[in-house]
Structure 1
């Protein structure tokens, strides 16, 4: 939270500086020239820039919810654990994600190296040896289907919808649920 407050103060300071510089520029141009000799477009750009900075400053100042000002990447970094859930949504097992950048999800085989082993799950017969991968890239977590037979779905916390992961990685955030075949994994 301290970093968020510092970022908010820096943003507010920069917005005030933009407003003051814009007002100073308009004043100096008008004082030195004494007339509106420059093209109206120059004044229009300066006024629009100042208006945008004022709007941003008031939006930021009036914001009570930190999610409005905190970049999504910072919220996503809050993912620390992957929790295996049973049919009733109760935790069975969990894995720590802190310090990790890539985790392969599947079921163990003879020559398979896995980070998240779902061999002992109820639906393990539907899970491929290397079913999916969780990757941390550019301060965000992504899940990707590794060509599995029964697919990967993501239940998004933001809209309550469930999406199938096909042909490209899908960004995930804390609160999303991964469905590896029929196995539920909660990101927290």
Structure 2
């Protein structure tokens, strides 16, 4: 969707510049009309300036509101009603494995005793901290990892190997198991 929208914006931009050039060519190749030439030159200058400013503003990254920048201290396992079942304090950690502890592998966030444990991979997802920011990454799990940002109703399935920034209030879905980021 975004690519098609960008393509149409580009086509319209090219058409607008073509129209401006055609007007400029027509007006400036005529003798006299010095007032009209001045107006056309100013109009083209304003059009180019607006185009440049619009594109600069769209490139500047938008910061998350301060409310979403609360320090992440723990993950909370929640049930279907949203009640807390178990908590893991992660403050001070740098990297945590989410999955199931077995005789050969130990998960930092062990979900082996949850209702949907059969859907959770031994190495399902990883949480990594960079400075004070946390990122979640699916590690080629069998049933996927989802992320629902706070105050949104849509859960996004994460692509394996692509880190995604998480904020306090976000909901992580490890298969069907829900972890609230706090």
Inter-partner Cα distance in structure 2 for 1:166 and 1:130: 15
**Normalized against structure 1, the TM-score is what?**
0.59
8 Å Cα contact 1:77-1:139 kept in structure 2: no
Compared CA separation, residues 111 and 69, structure 1 to 2 (3 A): closer
Compared CA separation, residues 161 and 69, structure 1 to 2 (3 A): closer
Shift of 1:103: 0.6
Say which is worse superposed, 178-187 or 107-116, in terms of deviation.
107-116
1:97 is aligned, of 87, 90, 113, to: 90
Runs (5+) with no aligned partner, structure 2: 1-61
Say which is worse superposed, 151-160 or 121-130, in terms of deviation.
151-160
8 Å Cα contact 1:123-1:182 kept in structure 2: yes
SS in 2 for 1:119: coil
Larger Rg: 2
**Normalized against structure 2, the TM-score is what?**
0.61
Count how many residue pairs are aligned between Structure 1 and Structure 2: 120
SS in 1 for 2:118: helix
Runs (5+) with no aligned partner, structure 1: 1-67
Task: Tell me the residue number matched to 2:177.
Answer: 183
Which aligned segments of 4 or more residues in structure 1 are displaced greater than 3 angstroms?
68-72, 74-77
Q: Deviations along 1:43-95, whole A, 9 cap, x unmatched?
A: xxxxxxxxxxxxxxxxxxxxxxxxx99886x9545110100001111000000
8 Å Cα contact 2:100-2:106 kept in structure 1: no
For the aligned residue pairs, the C-alpha RMSD in angstroms reads 2.2
